[in-house]
Amino acid sequence: MAHKLKSKDLRKLNISSDKTISITLVIINKHYKHNTNEERIELILKIIENPEGYVNDPVLSKIAYEFYEPVEENTDIIPLVKRDVELNVFGRPLIKANAYQQMKTAMKLPVVEKAALMPDSHLGYGLPIGGVLAVNNAVIPFAIGMDIGCRMSLTIYDVTERFFKMHEHKFKQSIINNTAFGISKIVGFRQEHEFLDRDVFHTTALLKGLKSKAARQIGSSGSGNHFVEWGIVEMEGDELIDIPAGKYIGLLNHSGSRGFGASIARHYSDLAKEKSRLPYNMKHLAWLDMDNDDGREYWEAMNLAGDFASACHDQIHHNVAKEMGLVPLTKIENHHNFAWKEMVDGNEMIVHRKGSTPAGKNVLGIIPGSMTDPGFIVKGLGNEAAINSASHGAGRKCSRKETISKTTNSEMRKKLKQQNVHLIGGALDESPFAYKNLSQVMSFQNELVTTIGKFIPRIVRMDKAK
C-alpha cells in the first residue's frame, strides 16, 4: 500500500485552497488507497485539467467541482480554442502519458507558437520537465519554474587519475569543507562576488529585499537532485575546446538560484495569475506581456536570478579548487529552467526551457547521468524541430516515493560500490534506480547533439539522506 497523499503533495500542484486540499485528500486516500502516489497525482492532474469530465463521477465529482468554473457570457476568462501548434517529441517511448498530456494542455495557450518534448521528459509542475515552449512576446513564470537558472557547470583540471587516487581523501574533504546543501544551509565563511555589488538590486522593492538573502546563500546548493562531484573526464578532442583528447579530473555541479530565485518566481507567478484570466485548471500557466512593465520587470529579475545561479557555481568551483591548489584548464556550463529571446522559424520568440539544455549550433553543454552513471559533454547541432534544445539529464522514471518503496539503501550502496562511487549525503529517492538509462535517452538525441566527452563520477556530495 502506498503512503497517503499529504497536503504538501497537493500544494506542489499549485493547489492553495485548504478546503480543496482537504476534500481531495479524503476522497483520494479513501477510494484510491491501493494506487501508487504517482497514479493518484496523475488522476488529480487529469481532474484539474478537465474538471467538466468528472462532475458526474459518483466518487470524484466533489473534487471536480472544486476546479469547475462554468464560463458565462461576457466573462473576462481568456478563451482557449483548438490551435494547430507544432509539437515535436523526441524519445516518445520513454515519455509517460501524463507528461505528454501536460504539454498538450500548455499548448492551448494563445501565446504559444511551437513546442517540443525531450526524451528525459516527465511530469512537472506547470510544464513537464524536459518541455520547451516558444511563445510570442510573452513570458510564463511557471513554465520556467521556481528554481530559475538552474545550471550545470564543469571545470576541467590537468590532473591525472593516479594523482586523484593518491589524494582521494583530500578531494573528498575539499567538497565537504566548501559546499552546503538544502533549505537555509549556507557556506560557513564570507563570500565575495561582483554580483552582490550590482546596482540592479535597487530597481525594485522585491530585489532590494532579496539582496541580503543572495549574500547569505551565495556559493551554496539546493536539495533534491542538486550535487557537487569530482570525477574523471574523458575528452575526445574538439575545436571548440582548446584542450587535447585525453583523461582529466573534473568538478561538476548542478544547482540553481536558491531562495533568491524562488522568491522572484513566486512573486511574478502570482502577478501573472492576476493579469491573465485563464480557466482555473491553467492558472499556473499565466503569462506576462513583454510589452508591459510587469513582463519587462520579470525578465530583468529572471536574468538576475540566472546570474546569481552562475555566481553560486563560480564560488563553489573557486573555493573547492583553491583548497586543492588546482588551476582550471577550461569550464563548460549551461542554464536550464530559463527563457531566452531566440529566432524560431524566422521570428523572434521567447523560448522557455523547463529542464532542457540549450543545443543551438556549436553550443556546448553537459547532460549528467545519475549519482553513479556517466554524463555527457555535448555540442549542439541546432535542430529547429527541437527548438535548438536537448535533454538536461536522464529524467526520472519513478517518483520519489515510488523509488523509496521499490528499492533499499543496501541496494543503493551496492550500486555505488559496483560503480566505484563514494557518496557524501544523498537520499534513497535520488538513487540511480529513480532515473532512466541515460545511454538510451542519448540514443534519441543523435539529431540534437554530438557527444565530445564523458564525465564519470567518483566522489558525489548531495543533500543529506532523509
Res 370: pLDDT: 93
Nearest CA to 189 among 323, 99, 355, 76? Answer: 323
C-beta separation of 281 from 45 below 8 A: no
Domains of the chain: 7-67 (no CATH), 151-461 (3.90.1860.10)
pTM to 2 decimal places: 0.83
Output the tens digit of pLDDT for each of the chain's 466 residues. 567 888 888 887 878 788 899 999 999 999 998 888 888 888 998 888 778 778 778 899 899 888 876 544 434 566 666 678 999 999 999 998 889 988 998 998 999 999 999 999 998 887 899 999 999 999 999 999 999 999 999 999 999 999 999 999 999 999 999 999 987 788 888 888 999 999 888 888 999 999 999 999 999 999 889 999 999 999 998 888 989 999 999 999 999 999 999 999 999 999 998 887 787 778 889 999 999 999 999 999 999 999 999 999 999 999 999 999 999 999 999 999 999 999 999 999 999 999 999 999 999 999 999 999 999 999 999 999 999 999 999 999 888 888 888 899 999 999 999 999 999 999 899 999 999 999 999 999 999 999 999 999 999 999 986 5
3-state secondary structure of 238: strand
Res 2: pLDDT: 60
C-beta separation of 392 from 256 below 8 A: no
Nearest CA to 373 among 331, 428, 415? Answer: 415
Q: Which residues pair with 334 in a beta bridge?
A: 152
